[in-house]
Structure 1
Amino acid sequence: MLKRIQSIQNIGRFKATTAGNVEFDKITLIFGRNTYGKSTLGDLLASIELSETSAITTRRTIPADGRPQQAVLSFQAEGQSETPIRLDQNGWNPGLPVGLCLRVFDDGFYHNNVFAARQFTRSTKENFSSFVLGAQGVAKAQVIAEKNKQKGDATRERNKLQKAAFKNISDLSNFLKLNPAETVDLLKDKIDSLRRESDNFVSQKDNAEKIQSRKTLNLLKWEISFTESLERLNKILAASYINLHDDARLKVIDHIQRNFHEQNDAEIWIKNGLAHNNGGKCQFCGQVLGEEAIKLLDIYRQYFNSSYQEHESYVVKELDECKTLLTQERVVMLRLSLESNKGSLVSYPELEKREDFLELSAQLEKCVDNIAAVLESWVKQSAEFNKQIEQVVNRKISRPHSEINQLESKILLQLNEQIIELISIYNDKASRINELIIVFKESVNAIRLKMRIDAINDQINIENLKLLRVEMADQCEEMIRLDTLVAVLAEEIPLLQEELRNEQSSYLDNFFDHLNYYFKKFGSSDFTLIRGEDTSGHTPIYYLKVKYCNCDVSERDLDKVFSESDRRALALAVFWAGLSCLNEENIRNTIIVLDDPITSFDNHRTTTVHQEIVILAEKSRQIIILSHYEQGLVKFINTYSKNKPIKLLTIERKSGTSSLQVADIDHFVKNEHEKARSNLFKFIAEETNTHNAGDLRVFLEYELNHRFAKQIDDNNINESNLSDRIDKLRDAGCITQELCSGLHNWRELLNPAHHIWLASDLEDQRNTAKRFMGFIYHDLIPTCLTS
């Protein structure tokens, strides 16, 4: 319990207060007039309850004297010695003794936990919920609040990081899942390579039509086999006209040998001449031919018959064809084809990055060099050979029926075989290159190229993401941490909330049952209070919903439905319900402080509250009531002081500071008349030398009205003037003329306008007071009692 307030310095009205000799009891009443410091004491005790000193630091004594704010209060837990706790600039130290608990009901509780400006506000709802939950499940509610705050902070931090570092990442979830094994340099090299490849395909796409028009390599041709043509020539050179009549043949041969100087062309000359002979005369001179001449012509005709003509035609034709085949220009065409293919080959720079293309191109170039070397030899050898062909062909034509020596050229035959072999190799390489070109051309399609470019660009994007993932490793790890934290908390918090809800469900039902019970008991019987719940914040917020006569009351209409007395009763009911939900041990160790608990209460509520205070005092460690409402305290004392350990303290003002003093309960509960009477008796008995100047005059009028209350009422005496009232009582026969004269004498002596008797010395005043009290209690008697 609170045993004593040892000292208070520079806190509100308590400028320099020492009250260590003033002990508190089980039920301690503290009476303090307004402005004396009652609320300051309440705030001082509330700051210990809440471990919050801001309300105290703002109550610095005015005018300030430069000294610090300090306070020392002594508490005593059950079975322990007194423990002083001190307030200084660091707060309360060491705090309440273990086992003790403070609960303070004051204006702060009213405005913070129930009403603000006559309404339930978001703040009062939160504080009300905290007050309710404070009795049970505080730890878990705090955990939920902390986790919600942590989740909110992590979410804001994550969103801030996402906006700052990942705003250009469209799929952040998959980006964070990336786990590249490559280094930054390797990824950059890969990206550069892909970009070059993409640029190449873009270039191909832009030149697709041109690429399609590019030529493939022509395969080389060695048009006519040299070997076969030479064999064919030699065959015709060896051919002879074996079907002629032997006699005619021999005679023609003999005739030519004997008569022709140039025998090589003799047969041609004779054959041509025979074609122009008419049979009887010479075709040259016109002379008549002789018998021998005619016989010779017959022999000629036998020799140059139709078979000879056919054979000659065949030989000439064969010779002409063989000569053409063997002497035609084939090297130039071959070289042109090689040169053309070279141009075609270099028109495919896109393939130069392919190893197979480069390898085949190199092999083809080697073939070209080999072919060129052989062709050079061929040209040299074929020039002489062509002359030989010319000679043998002319010779054969002049003697088509005769066998001519065959033409031979081993070198050309060898060169021919080399050329054939080299061309075959060349064409093989060219065909393989053409296959690559065809595949390339098939790929050089605008749609396919776009698909390929898109695929490469997609891969570039992937590699760029991987590169960015590596470069942003720290931010990603932080993002993953925050994501994980938010996800874990998002899963944990609803479970904790559900646990809290389940754990507190019966407790909350019990709390609201008690709340309705006390609210009705404290005089607001037409109201019903229902639990509301708001789950939009960090922790569930439980608040009050109000019904009046079973009709819902809107929160905005509370000030119209609740009277001031209802509002105070509700706040007190909330406080009482919280205490009622404490277990027996907790309530037994609780110090309860009530600051003006019945202020603004209607009279019909006061008795019930006093009764509940006494009941609560039996269960709790201590109850301290602070009040400026004297009548309320008097009523409480008069009702319970004979049976309960009640101590009354008063706050007094003296020498510029307030202080605590133990009050005389018996004196405190007296009314003003009783106090004045007591003071007069003490003055008469010489227990004091002072008295109030107006006490005797007021005392006279009060006693007259009290003694003759029935007579005044029966005779309808309504005069406000004391002199008239005395005369009316005399006229009505209620007092004698003698008593009337005595009353007028004392009235005139004690008239506040004169106070002549106060000018006398002290003993004269005491004697006057003694005579006056004798008059009141011996002479002031109604007529009916004196007769």
Structure 2
Amino acid sequence: MLERIQKIENVGNYSRALAGRLPLGRVSVIYGENRNGKSTLCDILYSLSINDPQLVLDRKSVVQGQEPDAINPQIELKFSDRQQAIKFRNSEWDSQLSEESNLYIFDHGFIHRNVMAGTKYSRENSTNFSGFILGESIAAFDALEVRNQQLRIDRQTLSKHKEELEGHEIGDFTAFVELPAPAKTLDELDADIQASKQAQEQIATQITNITQITQRSNLNCLSNDVSIAAILEEINNCLALSMVNVHNASKAIVAEHKNKVNKKELFNGWAASGVEHVDEDCPFCGQELGADAQELIESYRTAFDDTFQKFVRNTKVEVTRLRAKALVDVNLERLTEKHEQNVTTLETYFEDTIKEKLNELDYEATLAQRFESVTEAFKALIDEAVTTNNAIVTALAEKYDAPYNFINSISFDDLQSNIDAFNGAIQSYTDAIKPVNSLLTEFKAGQNVADLRERKRLEAASEANITLSRKRLNLDAVCNQYNNLKVQINVDKASYDAEKEALELAQEAFLNTYFVTINELFNRIGSTDFDISRKVNRGGTRTVYDLEVKFKRKLVDNSKLHCLFSESDRRALALCIFLAKIERLPDEDKAKAILVMDDPVTSFDSERISSILRILHALEPSIKQIIITTHYKGMASAVMRKFVDVNALKIYQDETGSKFGETTKAEMTATPHDERYSEIMDFVKRRTQENHIGKLRLFIEDEMRQRYKLPLSNLSLTARDTFSQCIDALRDGNYMDADTAHSLHDFRTTLNETGHELAEWSFEDSRTYAEGMMEFIYKKL
């Protein structure tokens, strides 16, 4: 067992702690306030247990005025089964524990490694948890993992072979590597490839010829029918315009005025008799012909003049527009060009089959004759169009000079007759090309390239296969490497899977009893609504076991465990995992076990303290040593009461750093502050119906003074300084952040109310307030 902590120097707060005169017993308790060095001591022992010097070096003391490299941590630990102390010097342990002793460390690091890091449960937790519960049998998994790593390396090599082969454009990879090596040589395969290419070129030429035939044009029509009906109507309408149109416009104006006059009965009489009635009265409306009436008559005259001028102007515009229009818009050159294109198109069909059919029906001569008729009809049309156009020009010129004169309409019968003859010739030509186009379309449709294309496709496939065979022969060595390695991987994977399954089955019985023990312990310390189990996780490089938690028979997702577990439950579950491991040890291994437990239970969980001490008391006879470190005097005194012979030490700080000293049961006995704590927690946990709201004010002030004892001393503040003064001084001196100071002031001012005012609070409001204050003290203060 660990007999003495002889020296800790330059580690954490231990500048030079010598404790060789303070023996440790089979059951030892070490009391120390937070930040005095309990966790550092546990890290030292954990570093020794796994032989990891870095854990000590990470806690190297910070000494003002010295470079880190100049600081040399030194530790000396004396164990009962060794004559010489185990020493940490020159950044390493000089020796290890004997085979008769094994250290098991439970501390905050154990919780983070094996249960939950902060608020997250991760695969790393599962890995550490699996390694802890399986102990030495994890070595078998490690050996399997070495083989698994080799499998991964082999798979990577296999992938590289595959990438190399696929770089040669081999198509279906699996089919390629499974091809047998060709019997022909590379030269022979090259000759076959060239022969296949030549065959494809010959077929392609044949396909091209047929494609050209199918893309040839058919014959085109010459033009649309000629029509002059619209323009003839426009010309005759224009010639028919005369003064009647002007008179009609004037009448419309007079009629409109008539509807507006005062003496309508006089108007019609004047209109019948003329202007002989013109006197002093207006013959139109009966008004006196004063100056205003004379002005009105002048406006009538002006309106008639405007109508006439507008008529003349519009008529001339219309004549000008009609002069610009062509009577017949047909171009013989364009007609000839289209006919010649049709002749040329016929000449492109030189194949015998179609040429014979065209010659039999003499279509070329027929088209020539039909086009000759078109030409003759065109000439006759143009001659008549010239004659008619001259008549139109003369009539329009006369109309332009005297727009108000009516001119007789022009007869277009002769011209229309020639147009009809021309349109008939065009239609006759169109009728002639229709059967020609039918023959041409039938001929092109008969040109089937499907057979040729299929032959070319088969020949191209043959070339691809020969090319693939050539690549297979050229890459034969790589293919053999790939195939041989793939076979080896399959064999190794099958062997790995079989051994892994056997190992997991062998562990199953152990794990079943292990988790039964965890649940029994967890229930014994008060967590009755939980059921802890595990599930296999094969997601990573090694098979591990995840914690699986049910609360009131409902499965809880691991990502929500931090919401489910209180700080006390989390620590209690970790302790049960730890103690289940110890309980499941064989008897000979238990006899070698040295348990080191740092704050195995939260300080405000008095019920769990007694439950855990009962478990440890039952376990104590079968193990070598129990060492408990705690920052809670109630825990220390409870250990000293529970066990008959307890060695008690304390860690304290002086001006040089942390030191070890002796302590007694009397020193660890609960103080009035501890009693107030118990009463408040009984109230919070609903173990009492007595309202302890009046005890909160003094308790939170005492907690603040205890936790900030050294800073208060540095600030020369004593018990005579008020609570408020201490809070402000700690905040201003940067010993306390502003949020914490603000919360303390809030509790102080609220609890400073008179007892009468606090008594008006409801019972549940008081309990809730007390619970919030205790959570603040032990999680944020």
State the TM-score, normalized to the length of structure 1.
Answer: 0.49
Compare CA radii of gyration and give the structure with the larger one: 1
